């Protein structure tokens, strides 16, 4: 649901809210999902992004986000040079994807510990974004609320156990989705919540049997 | 509150004997779980960045990153200062400010997307100009931003505010309607007049394509922001005079969506059609990108 600051805002470095600010935010989300200093980035542009990315500074914007910058950071126009200084190697390629929003980007990141993540995001206008895939699993995250990304083995009762922990700790869920690769395989829960979340809750969820990993992603 | 009809929003404000801005501020404070003062405080920050952007671009020597644009707000200011503007000082000033904010954007300077960066000059220009003209304070301008936002939310929900989805009508058209709504409220017009001002503003730019030369938010975007500001004044003035749009605003917004859906992708920010496909545009693109 859109609010007034989705229309008036963000405060941003130009020139394009969808191709610059939205791109910074998708990059920033990838940065949060990775959770450590990125060393390699493979970026695939589709649709309008593919056709006009240089003109709108989308390349600089995505890299700025991956480096952790926000939409109003004055360093965005120098992000490619900053990436060199911070030893982030990046490549850009053009993709042809069917059935996706006109402004879509695929990002693959590798961090300093060797951790790898992938993400697909769309810039849907006015700087607003939707994250459509994380590590291959379908999600639908706007980045406006804090989110928990939980991977677990597909066994009965996992949703109940996790939501119970959140309930006991006074955390309200505003959006929930669950997808899995195959029955009994690895599943991914995406939970968006109102307000923030204490880091200690991450460990409590992590200790539940059959949980593989827990990431807390702040709102951006 | 659902933001899916401008008429419904206006009826609700009338029923409760509130201005649209008061109604929207109350609703948004609840939605964000914040006090009205906190929400207004965030909006004040937006207004400050907007104000700066209407001044920062008035510079004879500053050029965009591509080198294609810059210096036009300065030229317009010279003409207004000399008392030569054929639009008169008020519209003349609006043109300066709209050009300034848009040129700031093209230079990778700081702006507020309203609703988008490509249309970032229209609302700030209109607000700062009417503030000088009618001696309005920041409090009034902040409130007017809530009215403008509500219009933007409805358009985003029912049509689009993205050039890549709906063409320029969805960006500069939406910004112009938002600015017209703000103007009507600031000049003491009724919620019904807000509806007509929005409808008139959008009707005049229906079908406007997004055809940026070389894919850059510069040509024709910067000058279209000046047009969008002028269109907001024209539309608001007619509505304040009691002139009505025969087609209701929500139907106009639906027409905008249908037109956007039918629009060839060449005219939706892909830089493949319209002005972007002209021989001069192709030459400029070569000059910039080699």
Contact at CB, B217 and A102, closer than 8 angstroms:
no
pTM: 0.85
Does A71 score more than 90 pLDDT?
yes
- Under 8 Å CB pairs connecting chains A and B tally to 163
B44 part of a folded domain: yes
Report pLDDT for A100. 86
| pLDDT score at A97 | 87
Nearest to A127 among B113, B148, B157 (CB): B113
Question: What does residue B199 show for φ and ψ, rounded to 5 degrees?
Answer: -60, -45
User: Is residue B80 a part of any domain in this protein?
Assistant: yes
User: What CATH number was assigned to the domain covering residues A4-135?
Assistant: 3.30.1330.90
For the cut 80, the answer to whether the pLDDT of residue A51 exceeds it is no
pLDDT tens by residue, B68-86: 999 999 999 999 999 999 9
Q: Which of A15, A47, A125 sits opposite B108 (nearest CB)?
A: A15
Domain boundaries, chain A: 4-135, 146-217
pLDDT single digits (tens) A183-214: 989 999 999 999 888 889 999 999 999 999 99
Residue B270 falls inside a structural domain: yes
User: Residue A55 pLDDT > 90, yes or no?
Assistant: no
Q: Which residue is listed with tokens 């899916």?
A: B4
Domain A146-217, CATH homologous superfamily name and number: ACT domain (3.30.70.260)
State the complex-level ipTM: 0.96
Asked, for residue B1, whether it belongs to a domain, the answer is: no
Is A11 in Cβ contact with B28 (below 8 Å)?
A: no
Q: Tell me whether residue B93 is in a domain.
A: yes
| pLDDT on residue B157 | 97
Number of domains in chain B: 1
- In-domain check, residue B50: yes
Q: Which domain holds residue B10?
A: 6-289
DSSP state of B173: I
User: Domain of B160: which CATH number?
Assistant: 1.10.4100
Position A124 scores a pLDDT of 87
Task: Tell me whether residues B108 and A1 touch, CB distance under 8 A.
Answer: no
Q: Tell me the pLDDT of chain A averaged across its residues.
A: 92
- Residues in chain B with pLDDT < 50? none
CB A13 to CB B165 under 8 A?
Answer: no
pLDDT at B288: 84
Is B161's CB within 8 Å of A52's CB?
Answer: no
Strand extents, DSSP E, chain B:
110-112
Q: Do A14 and B163 touch (CB under 8 A)?
A: no
Confidence band, pLDDT 50/70/90 cuts, at residue A179: confident
List residues of chain A with CB under 8 Å from any CB of chain B.
1-18, 20-21, 47-48, 51-52, 54-57, 72, 74, 76-77, 102-103, 124-127, 194-195
Residue A3 has pLDDT above 90, yes or no: yes
The pLDDT tens digits for A123-161 are 987 788 999 999 888 888 999 899 999 999 999 999 999
Nearest residue, CB atoms, A14 vs list B31, B104, B157: B104
CB nearest A4 (choices: B45, B146, B269): B146
DSSP line for chain A: ---HHHHS--EEESS-IIIIIHHHHHHHHHHHHH-S-EEEEEEEEEHHHHHHTTTTTHHHHHHHHHTT--TT-TTGGGHHHHHHHTT-EEEEEE---SSS-SEEEEEEEEETTS-EEEEEEEEEETTEEEEEEETTEEEEE-SSSEEEEEEEE--TTHHHHHHHHHHHTTPPEEEEEEEESSTTSEEEEEEEESS---HHHHHHHHTSTTEEEEEEE---
Q: Is residue B107 included in any domain, yes or no?
A: yes
């Amino acid at each position: 649901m859109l609010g007034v600051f989705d229309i008036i805002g963000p405060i941003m470095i130009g020139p394009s809210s969808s191709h610059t600010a939205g791109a910074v935010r998708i990059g920033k989300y990838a940065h949060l999902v990775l959770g450590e200093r990125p060393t390699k980035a493979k970026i695939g542009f589709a649709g309008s992004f593919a056709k006009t990315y240089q003109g709108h500074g989308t390349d600089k914007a995505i890299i700025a986000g991956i480096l952790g910058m926000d939409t109003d950071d004055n360093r965005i126009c120098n992000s490619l040079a900053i990436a060199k200084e911070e030893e982030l190697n990046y490549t850009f390629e053009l993709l042809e994807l069917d059935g996706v929003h006109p402004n879509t980007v695929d990002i693959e990141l590798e961090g300093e510990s060797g951790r790898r993540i992938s993400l697909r995001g769309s810039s849907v206008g006015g700087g607003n974004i939707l994250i459509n895939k994380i590590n291959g699993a379908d999600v639908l995250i706007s980045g406006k609320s804090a989110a928990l990304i939980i991977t677990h083995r597909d066994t009965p009762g996992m949703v109940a156990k996790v939501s119970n922990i959140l309930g006991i700790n006074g955390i309200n869920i505003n959006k929930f989705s669950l997808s899995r690769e195959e029955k009994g395989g690895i599943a991914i829960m995406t939970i968006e919540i109102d307000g923030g979340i204490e880091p200690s809750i991450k460990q409590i969820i992590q200790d539940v049997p059959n949980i593989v990993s827990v990431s807390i992603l702040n709102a951006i | 509150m659902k933001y899916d009809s401008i008429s419904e929003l206006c009826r609700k404000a009338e029923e409760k004997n509130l201005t649209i801005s008061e109604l929207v501020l109350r609703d948004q404070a609840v939605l964000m779980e914040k006090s009205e003062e906190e929400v207004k405080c965030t909006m004040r920050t937006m207004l400050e960045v907007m104000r700066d952007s209407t001044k920062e671009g008035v510079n004879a020597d500053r050029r965009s990153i591509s080198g294609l644009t810059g210096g036009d707000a300065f030229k317009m200011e010279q003409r207004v200062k000399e008392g030569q503007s054929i639009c008169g000082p008020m519209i003349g000033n609006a043109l300066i400010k709209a050009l300034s904010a848009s040129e700031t954007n093209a230079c990778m300077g700081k702006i507020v997307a309203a609703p988008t960066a490509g249309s970032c000059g229209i609302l700030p220009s209109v607000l700062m100009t009417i503030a000088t003209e009618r001696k309005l304070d920041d409090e009034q301008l902040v409130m007017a931003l809530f009215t403008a936002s509500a219009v933007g939310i409805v358009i985003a929900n029912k049509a689009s505010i993205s050039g890549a989805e709906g063409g320029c009508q969805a960006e500069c058209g939406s910004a112009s309607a938002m600015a017209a709504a703000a103007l009507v409220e600031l000049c003491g017009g009724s919620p019904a007049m807000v509806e007509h001002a929005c409808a008139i503003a959008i009707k005049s730019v229906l079908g406007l394509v997004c055809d940026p030369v070389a894919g850059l938010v510069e040509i024709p975007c910067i000058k279209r922001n000046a047009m969008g500001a002028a269109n907001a004044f024209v539309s608001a003035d007619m509505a304040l005079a009691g002139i009505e749009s025969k087609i209701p605003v929500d139907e106009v917004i639906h027409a905008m969506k249908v037109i956007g859906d039918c629009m060839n992708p060449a005219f939706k920010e892909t830089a493949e059609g319209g002005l972007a496909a002209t021989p001069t545009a192709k030459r400029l693109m070569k000059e910039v990108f080699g």
